[in-house]
Structure formats: structure tokens, C-alpha cells
Amino acid sequence: MVDLLDALRAALPAEAVLTDPDLLSGHSRDEADLCAAGLPAVVVRPRTTEQVAAVVKIAAEHRVPLVPQGARTGLAGAANAVDGAVVLSTVAMDRILEVDPVNRIAVLQPGVVNAALAAEVAKHGLRYPPDPGSWESSMIGGNVATNAGGMCCVKYGVTTEYVFGLEVVLASGEVLRTGRRTAKGVAGYDLTRLFVGSEGTLGVITEITVGLRPAAGESLTLVALFPSTAAAGDAVAAISAQGLSPSLLELLDQTHLIALEAYQPMGLRTEAKALLLAASDTGSQAAADLERIAALCEEAGADEVYAATDSIEAAQLLQARRLAHPAMEKYAAEMFPQGNGGLIIDDVAVPRSALAALLDGVEKIAAENGVAIGVVGHAGDGNMHPNIVVDRADPASVADSQRAFDDIVELALALGGTCTGEHGVGLLKRRWLAREIGPVSLRVQQAIKAALDPEGLLNPGKVL
């Protein structure tokens, strides 16, 4: 058998086969913490479906694991390499193949950056709603592979709602087409949604047909400050119970407010225990919607509620929410000597009615484990990201953080929630997945994996 590298070099252009040691180690992991990662034997950057199929076949012939990677912005280790693997990077598959405004669809390669798609479809008065935090760098292929969420999902749903069809290279190297270009269609099993969120374990996505929506109208935005995180949680439950559908409903806790003010002073009131950011994009009804949301926040105990005076202030508030993560990372880094502080990012979702209980519980977990935890997230979906501050240089701190992380997931499950609202399972939540879904579901998922990838070479060790 020809050597793996020779075979890849024969099948791909020279610049598509990378073996430089720095590049290899640079492709060993995504942005997840606490996850193992290996060193790939080679990184390939195909441009076409045919090249992807060739790579998958070569890896199969050599019985070498194949790990698909997009922008490596994932937070669960799903894109981490295993030792000796072929890493298939989709960065060079970055073409938007079609935008069809009448049928409101776009067809694209997986390496298209989310923000690039947003910009392109905006030219046609259209919008691709899913907006993960990483949207300026993450790629649609990775968004699809992880079924990414984001801030607009509270009203517009997550990635899977927008995937009409896929082209996938299977473990066999065969090219599968799923789904449709029509608004509706029920021909056969919904393979599209099976691949969405499968984190590279069932095939390599090489083309995506997404549904688009008309661009949203301008939205109105308000901020509410609360004397406790639980009061903010109560406000979210009340907003939902009253039948309101805000286009944004985000929470930042005091730790994040302090981190944000330190990172980029905006005059946020850091003595508040929690901030809710809400928006409505219902046009002429938005002002009335926000008035009702404001009243419900006050009833839930908000100290202060104020509306953004104009779209500039609204954009600033949204930007503050988007900066919460880098601000918190800087805050954590500076909490320990030599900048060794870091964040362990958790991701759980609970029924909205349990949001207050989750937030209360996270406070207790922080105290019990002697760690600082800042909470931020998509309150309207019950999807929270508790960020645990850790001193990476101190094994005791790492152990405390890991314990707090597990306690949070345990609590979310006890509240009827899930171990991952939007980041995915990858390596980080594998153990928890088995616990959440139970042995019957695990066996069914394993049977599907075995049916599609009998040799187990596609992204081995992830999810299941």
C-alpha cells in the first residue's frame, strides 16, 4: 500500500497537504478546555467535494482516523485531533455557490464564515438568523456540525431549523445528498437533521443548502437591572408565560458586568446582581412589547429598567453582550499570577421555569467549591453559560473547577434540563451524554453510528 502522505499528495494539489510540525500542532484542538487532543499526521485542505471524497477513501484504505475541522472555534473538543489522524480542514471550501432570493435559499461550501454569509445575503434583503458568539470567525460547516445556537435563537431557532439539505461524504467515500431545495418536503427519513449536530462523526459535510428569511426590521432594546440573578430568572419566566416573543433575551451576571466595565467602560451599573438585555423586532408593535417586558421585569423585582434611546445605544448594548466572553477571559487571566487564570466554559439549558433555580444553584455551587463563577447566556432559551474561573497553574484550583463544572451539569439535569444547550458533546460532555440520554438511546445512537461508519474512523471518540 502506498504511504498515506504519498497517496494524499497524489490526490490533492501540493498546497493542500500540510505536514509542517507547527501547522500540525496548530490543528490539534478547538477552543474547549479540559479536553484531550492529539497530534495529526497530516492536515489537508481540499477545495472540492471530489477532493474530500478522495481524502476520506485514502484515510479508510490506510485505516487512519479522519477528523473534520472548520474554524476550530468549538467549545466541546469535537474538532480535537487524535494522534496520527488525517485532519480535514474545510477552510479552503469557502465559496457561496448560490443565493436565490425568490426561494430564500443559499447553497454554500462548509468553509464559508457565518458573517460572510450574513453579509452576502443582506445584499438581497435577506438574513441567515443563527448567530453563534463566534459568528465573525466560525464557519457554517462547523455551525451545522454542532447545530450552533446564538442570541437570535430565542425567537428564530437554531441552525437545524435553517438547513434544508446537505451534501455529505460518507465514511465509504460515497457522496450522499440529503434534503431538498423546496420550502417543504417529506420524502424519506430526515437524514439532513441526523447529520446536523453529529459533530463530524457520521460524515464530512461538503455542501449546505440553507433557508433564509427576510431581513429583520429595526429592533428596540431595553436593559433591566436586578438585585439577584434569581429575580432576573423570574422575569424571564414571566415574559414567556405572558406570551411575549422577544427577539433577544440575554442575561449577564454581576461578575460579567464587572469584567465588562474593566475591559471597556460603558457605564454599566456593576452593583447590580444581574442584567437582562431584551429586544423586540416586531416593527410598530415593538414599543408596546418592550413596555410589557419592562413591566414584567419591574414586577419580578428589577431596580431599574431603561430603554436604549436610539439604534446606536442599542448596538452598543448588543456589543457589550458580545464582548462579555473576551472581557471575562481577561478578568479571569488577571485574577491569578502570571496571567494563569482561565475560564472553564459550561453550557447547560433548563426549562425557562427552572432558570431562577439554576442561577441560585450555581451561586451555591461556586460557594461550596470555593471558585468564582460568572454566568452569562441566552436567558430566553434557558441556555446558560456558567464560566468558572480557574488558576491553570494550580492543580487544586483545576480540581475545584472541574467539580463545580460537574455539579452544574448535575443540577441542570436534575432541573429537567440538558447537559448541552448549544456547544455540543464533543469530548467535554461525552460522559454526561450517556447519563442524560440513558442506555437505550445510547445503543440506538451507537447503532446508527455503526451503520454509517462501520470502521469507526470518522472523528473517533467524540460524542458517543
Q: Contacts with a second copy in 374-413 (CB under 8 A)?
A: 378, 380-383
Q: What is the CA radius of gyration of the chain?
A: 22
Cβ–Cβ under 8 Å, residues 385 and 375: yes
Minimum CB–partner distance for residue 247 and a second copy (Å):
14
Of the pair 202, 224, the CB lying nearest a second copy is at: 202
Q: How wide is the angle at C-alpha 90 spanned by C-alphas 148 and 426, nearest 5°?
A: 45
Does position 100 interact with a second copy (CB under 8 A)? The reply is yes
Does position 311 interact with a second copy (CB under 8 A)? The reply is no
Of the pair 148, 224, the CB lying nearest a second copy is at: 148
Minimum CB–partner distance for residue 441 and a second copy (Å):
6
Please list every residue from 31 through 90 that binds a second copy, using CB under 8 A. Answer: none
Residue of 216, 210, 214 lying closest to 98 (CA atoms) = 210
Does position 196 interact with a second copy (CB under 8 A)? The reply is yes
Q: Which of 146, 247, 369, 387 binds a second copy (CB under 8 A)?
A: 146
Minimum CB–partner distance for residue 253 and a second copy (Å):
19
Minimum CB–partner distance for residue 279 and a second copy (Å):
17
The strand pairing partners of 199, in sequence order, are: none
Q: How many residues bind a second copy (CB under 8 A)?
A: 91
Which region among 242-250, 261-269, 306-314, 327-335 touches a second copy (by CB under 8 A)?
242-250
Does position 424 interact with a second copy (CB under 8 A)? The reply is yes
Q: Which of 111, 141, 142, 197 binds a second copy (CB under 8 A)?
A: 197
How many Å apart are CA 458 and CA 435, to the nearest integer? 23
- Non-local (6+) Cβ contacts of 54 within 8 A are 11, 12, 46, 173
Q: Which of 282, 369, 387, 401 binds a second copy (CB under 8 A)?
A: 282
Q: How wide is the angle at C-alpha 84 spanned by C-alphas 83 and 86, nearest 5°?
A: 115
Minimum CB–partner distance for residue 7 and a second copy (Å):
23
Of the pair 152, 259, the CB lying nearest a second copy is at: 152
Minimum CB–partner distance for residue 201 and a second copy (Å):
8
User: CA 201 → CA 22, 42, 229, distances in Å?
Assistant: 26, 19, 38
Cβ–Cβ under 8 Å, residues 87 and 69: yes
- Non-local (6+) Cβ contacts of 239 within 8 A are 246, 249, 278, 293, 296, 380
Which region among 27-35, 45-53, 253-261, 440-448 touches a second copy (by CB under 8 A)?
440-448
Does position 440 interact with a second copy (CB under 8 A)? The reply is yes
Contact flags string 332-361 toward a second copy, x per CB under 8 A: -----------------xxxxx--------
Of the pair 14, 186, the CB lying nearest a second copy is at: 186
Cβ–Cβ under 8 Å, residues 191 and 178: yes
Cβ–Cβ under 8 Å, residues 112 and 140: yes
Q: Which of 34, 60, 96, 176 binds a second copy (CB under 8 A)?
A: 176
Q: Tell me which residue has cell 502570571.
A: 338
Q: What is the 3-state secondary structure (H, E, C) of 362-428?
A: HHHHHHHHCCCEEEEEEHHHCEEEEEEEEECCCHHHHHHHHHHHHHHHHHHHHCCCECCCCCCCCCC
Of the pair 132, 341, the CB lying nearest a second copy is at: 132
**Helices and strands (DSSP H and E) totals, the chain:** 14, 19
Does position 437 interact with a second copy (CB under 8 A)? The reply is yes
Cell numbers at 126, concatenated = 435577506
Does position 448 interact with a second copy (CB under 8 A)? The reply is yes
User: CA 134 → CA 108, 113, 144, distances in Å?
Assistant: 19, 10, 13
The strand pairing partners of 458, in sequence order, are: 66
Does position 452 interact with a second copy (CB under 8 A)? The reply is yes
User: CA 3 → CA 348, 427, 456, distances in Å?
Assistant: 44, 30, 21
Does position 181 interact with a second copy (CB under 8 A)? The reply is yes
Of the pair 221, 418, the CB lying nearest a second copy is at: 418
Minimum CB–partner distance for residue 72 and a second copy (Å):
18
Please list every residue from 256 through 275 that binds a second copy, using CB under 8 A. Answer: none
- Non-local (6+) Cβ contacts of 451 within 8 A are none
Q: Which of 73, 147, 247, 401 binds a second copy (CB under 8 A)?
A: 147
Does position 431 interact with a second copy (CB under 8 A)? The reply is no
Q: Which of 24, 92, 115, 170 binds a second copy (CB under 8 A)?
A: 170
Q: Which of 419, 427, 428, 457 binds a second copy (CB under 8 A)?
A: 419
How many Å apart are CA 173 and CA 194, to the nearest integer? 18
Q: How wide is the angle at C-alpha 426 spanned by C-alphas 16 and 62, nearest 5°?
A: 45
Which region among 13-21, 41-49, 115-123, 441-449 touches a second copy (by CB under 8 A)?
441-449
Which region among 106-114, 133-141, 190-198, 259-267 touches a second copy (by CB under 8 A)?
190-198
Does position 123 interact with a second copy (CB under 8 A)? The reply is no
Please tell me the chain's helix, strand, coil percentages from 3-state DSSP, rounded to the nearest 5.
40, 20, 40
